[in-house]
Amino acid sequence: MQNASSVLFDTIAFVGVGLIGGSMARDIRAAGLARHLVGYARRAETREAIEQLGLVDHVVSSLAEAVEQADLVVLCVPVGSMGQVAQDIAEHLKPGAVITDVGSVKRQVLRDLRAHLKPENPIIGGHPLAGTEHSGPSAALIGLFKHRWCVLTPEADTSIVALDKVRQLWEALGSHVEVMDAEHHDKVLAITSHLPHLIAYCIVHTATGLEAQTQEEVIKFSASGFRDFTRIAASDPVMWRDIFLNNKDAVLEMLQRFSEDLTALQRSIRYGEGENLQQVFTETRAVRRSIQDAGQAGTFDAREPEAMPLSLLAPYASD
Amino acid sequence: MQNASSVLFDTIAFVGVGLIGGSMARDIRAAGLARHLVGYARRAETREAIEQLGLVDHVVSSLAEAVEQADLVVLCVPVGSMGQVAQDIAEHLKPGAVITDVGSVKRQVLRDLRAHLKPENPIIGGHPLAGTEHSGPSAALIGLFKHRWCVLTPEADTSIVALDKVRQLWEALGSHVEVMDAEHHDKVLAITSHLPHLIAYCIVHTATGLEAQTQEEVIKFSASGFRDFTRIAASDPVMWRDIFLNNKDAVLEMLQRFSEDLTALQRSIRYGEGENLQQVFTETRAVRRSIQDAGQAGTFDAREPEAMPLSLLAPYASD
């Protein structure tokens, strides 16, 4: 099925084949960007699901076996596990095999990977800004990365060739690629992603502390704003634990700024400073307009034909 | 066009004909629930828009004129303006005319209305849990209240007949009606709606305090979580200012609980207490499942045929 001219890597290994890895594998295959896809999963149950969904050509239970033939290794594990995986695969990689990842934190991940991998293996940090609150192989979607940003954070001495091949891969999946410094990535994502998730987790947590009767009504009347937060707060707990622990400095900095602003709003409510509230709420409305102007206002919608769950697309899922 | 058997009120007056009032008027007309609809708007520009969209039978610039024939008056103004409106209409109401509203705060609104209205005019507090971040007559949607909750908060001495007619009206618009105490409503909404909005406003506000370059990237990479908050933070500034000021006690109480929880999470991040973070994030996931089990997980979608902007439905808008 592959078009020889579009092949970017002979063999690609996925360490972790869940929402992100599985979605990548599916699209890479459909576009013929690799000749052979290998998938590693730690748990037997997950390996079975990957097999059944036909996400890769070979599913293996050994990290060494997964990566030994790979020209590109895509690490799709929680950011806190990257160092351990790097240690386990370092000796089994082909010389020149390129390592990339899909973690939401980049500075600590680059450090953890480089601490174990050989200099002959280039590391291109990667972060596709796409996803849903679901996880695991069955959450894999076709077209998940289309029209989404993917941030790449190479090391200072990364070869242009290696960077370019990873960039081509993401562009072939339909992503807009932005190359930036890992530290800057972590700062921007701390405010656009990490803090919003922490706050969503927190407000849902606060609601669970209310008395039982009120809690029932919180569920019942959740459509009035709370529901949007519960969707975010349903994201993978281990993945997010690791993100906060591995982007600690930037998250704490943004959290501190947020808390100061929230305290100021709280004070305005207490002392009835309506003008101040109205001014803040008017400014924030303008931010929404900027996002709309930038064409970023859409909401991820699993019903779009190009982003349907694999389970709804049987003819594609089995080819 | 009306079916005589479905008429609940001869004349209904809307004080304010924006997203909520306009959407109500449209559906009331389509279902023939009233013989005559009158709409009041303060600004000439708004009155013109209401006329052009054909939302009501008569658009008037005088509050007295708006309400003098009405059997039901629906107050669709920011909750901070309810008292003033009540004062202005009190002398012009027909004896027995029922007053209701659509405000997001109920205890203070009932107080403000009763302070001016005569005992012969029953007050049924109302709060349809439906809406979008858009406002004004052009934001009015067909079917906005279908399958949504509407909370009614009557006064202690409200007649069963008056309550029942308002309940029938909302049920005819497709809403599920829940009758509860105004104070209890305000507490539940403080956590499900008011606090989420305040937090969303706050995080977007915090982002606007970052240096210019980072701000540009916040817009660019907003899809990673931030975007959902900007949608909420684009809601009407005056409406929300009034909600916070008029539900001060419940909002400050929930805000205090939230701040304590956030401080605890912040501490866990600082000291690397991963187990604690993971436990909280796992609990919150369960809340999402409860909401899904309760059939409340859908997201408002303007593309649903029954909830399209009037501007896209010309044949209906002009009938």
Give B101-128 pLDDT, tens digit per residue. Answer: 999 999 999 999 999 999 999 999 999 9
List the structure tokens of B122. 């029953």
Share of chain B above pLDDT 70, in %: 91
For chain B, say whether A262 makes contact (Cβ under 8 Å). Answer: yes
Determine which of A89-103, A305-319, B249-263 has the lowest per-residue pLDDT on average.
Answer: A305-319
Q: What is the pLDDT of residue B56?
A: 98
Determine which of A145-154, B59-68, B157-166, B293-302 has the lowest per-residue pLDDT on average.
Answer: B293-302
Give the distance from residue A67's alpha carbon to the nearest chain B alpha carbon, in angstroms: 29
Q: What is the pLDDT of residue B53?
A: 97
Determine which of A259-268, A296-305, B229-238 has the lowest per-residue pLDDT on average.
Answer: A296-305
pLDDT, tens digit, 9 for 90 and up, residues A19-74: 999 999 999 999 999 999 999 999 999 999 999 999 999 999 999 999 999 999 99
For chain A, say whether B230 makes contact (Cβ under 8 Å). Answer: yes
Q: Are A192 and B255 a contacting pair at CB < 8 A?
A: no
Q: What is the pLDDT of residue B214?
A: 83
Query: Nearest 5°: CA angle at B270, between B268 and B276?
Result: 15
d(CA B7, CA A306): 46
Q: What is the pLDDT of residue A309?
A: 32
Q: What is the pLDDT of residue A119?
A: 96
Q: Which residue has the higher pLDDT, A270 or A214?
A: A270
d(CA A242, CA A256): 20
A119-149 in b/e form (b: 16+ CB < 10 A) is: eebbbbbbbbbbbbbbbbbbbbbbbbbbebb
Which residue is closest to A260 within chain B, CA to CA?
B206
Confidence of residue A184 (pLDDT cuts 50, 70, 90): very high
Q: Which residue has the higher pLDDT, A319 or B293?
A: B293
How far from A144 is each of A78, A141, A193, A314, CA to CA, in Å?
19, 6, 18, 17
Confidence of residue A288 (pLDDT cuts 50, 70, 90): confident
Q: What is the pLDDT of residue A296?
A: 62
Confidence of residue B97 (pLDDT cuts 50, 70, 90): very high
pLDDT average, residue stretch B86-101: 98
For chain A, say whether B272 makes contact (Cβ under 8 Å). Answer: yes
Per-residue DSSP letter, A235:
S
Q: What is the pLDDT of residue B302?
A: 29
Q: What is the pLDDT of residue A158?
A: 92
Q: What is the pLDDT of residue A5?
A: 63
Whether A1 shows a pLDDT value over 90: the answer reads no
Which residue is closest to B217 within chain A, CA to CA?
A188
Cβ–Cβ under 8 Å, residues A18 and A136? yes
The mean of the pLDDT values for chain A is 89
Whether B4 shows a pLDDT value over 90: the answer reads no
**CATH 1.10.3660.10: which residues of chain B?**
185-293
Neighbours of B165 (CB within 10 A): 18
The sign of the CA dihedral B267, B271, B274, B276 is negative
Residues ≥6 apart with Cβ < 8 Å to A245: A80, B269, B272, B274, B277
Q: Which residues of B touch A281 (CB under 8 A)?
A: 201, 233, 235, 237, 240-241
d(CA A136, CA A50): 9
Q: What is the pLDDT of residue A154?
A: 97
User: For residue A214, what is the enclosing H or E element?
Assistant: helix A212-220
Out of A188, A282, A285, the one facing B217 most closely (by C-beta) is: A188
Alpha helices (H) along chain B = 19-30, 44-53, 63-67, 82-89, 107-114, 160-172, 182-189, 195-208, 212-220, 226-232, 237-246, 248-270, 274-293, 314-317
Q: Are A284 and B240 a contacting pair at CB < 8 A?
A: no
Q: What is the pLDDT of residue B296?
A: 62
Asked casually if ipTM beats, i.e. exceeds, 0.90, the reply is no
HSE, side-chain direction, 13 A CA sphere, residue B116: 17
Alpha helices (H) along A121-189 = 160-172, 182-189
The mean of the pLDDT values for chain B is 89
pLDDT average, residue stretch B235-243: 93
pLDDT average, residue stretch B68-94: 97
* Topology of the domain covering B4-181+302-317: Rossmann fold (3.40.50)
For chain B, say whether A292 makes contact (Cβ under 8 Å). Answer: no
For chain B, say whether A146 makes contact (Cβ under 8 Å). Answer: no
Whether B292 shows a pLDDT value over 90: the answer reads no
Whether A314 shows a pLDDT value over 50: the answer reads no
Whether A319 shows a pLDDT value over 70: the answer reads no
Q: What is the pLDDT of residue A49?
A: 97
Does domain B185-293 match CATH 3.40.50.11540? no
Give the distance from residue A168's alpha carbon to the nearest chain B alpha carbon, in angstroms: 20
**CATH 3.40.50.720: which residues of chain A?**
4-181+302-317
Chosen from B191, B213, B240 to mutate, greatest number of chain A CBs within 10 A:
B191
Q: Are A288 and B230 a contacting pair at CB < 8 A?
A: yes
Give the distance from residue A294's alpha carbon to the nearest chain B alpha carbon, in angstroms: 7
